[in-house]
Amino acid sequence: MNAALRPPEPPGLSHTVESRVSIRKHPVHPMLVVFPIAFLAVVAAGDLLFLWSGLPFWAQMGAVLNVSGLAIGVVAAAVGLVDLLLIPVVRRHVSAWSHAMAALMLLAVAAGNAWLRWPDPVAAVWPWGLLLSSLMVLLVGVAGWLGGGLSFHHGIGVAADAGGDDDGPDAPPQE
């Protein structure tokens, strides 16, 4: 979009905010969060499949996905924390703090669920494992919604365009 046609930015906010942790201008945090989102969101489905089928595989798979989602989620949280602490405009967004708190609660529930499942994944499913994994689905949705809003609505963690116009091969047509 032509710079003259863009709506004015609110005071103190910019159109795009580059991540401080990126690889060739590709932010690392959004690359990492897809794994904990996927892993932690399907633990409840594995629990339900175990309860329906009685196959221990599903309970064990839920435990593996829970621990894997927790481990990668901690790394993603550390990268996100760097952006939160090093970019002043990010700290001014209430949704950034809300996203951080929801993600922290998600990791806490995932840690509790991993602790519960560690000795015996099969015995841990009913009722507390299913309760915690269902809570994780809700928290994944909240944290993901808030994080997506930061990227898509506020331009946080995206590559900034140099002069206000993107003239690359994937640029939208100029009006």
Domain contains 38 = yes
For the stretch 120-125, contacts whose Cβ atoms lie closer than 8 Å and that sit 24 or more positions apart, written own/partner, are 121/56, 121/59, 121/60, 121/62, 121/63, 122/50, 122/56, 122/59, 122/60, 124/59, 124/63, 125/47, 125/50, 125/51, 125/59, 125/62
- Averaged pLDDT, 4-19: 60
Q: What is the pTM of this model?
A: 0.80
Q: In the chain, how many domains are there?
A: 1
Please compute the mean of the pLDDT values over residues 113-139 and round it to a whole number.
97
pLDDT tens digits along 17-37 = 777 787 888 888 888 999 999
Report yes or no on 55 lying in a domain.
yes
- Tell me the residue range of the domain where 64 lies: 32-152
Residue 141 falls within a domain, yes or no? yes
Residue 7 within a domain? no
Is 59 part of a structural domain of the chain?
yes
* Domain contains 9: no
Residue 12 lies in a domain: no
| Residue 5 within a domain | no
User: How large is the average pLDDT for residues 113-142?
Assistant: 97
Residues 48-95: tens digit of each pLDDT? 999 999 999 999 999 999 999 999 999 999 999 998 898 888 888 898
**pLDDT given for residue 154 in this prediction:** 75
- Asked if the model's pLDDT at residue 170 lies above 50, the reply is no
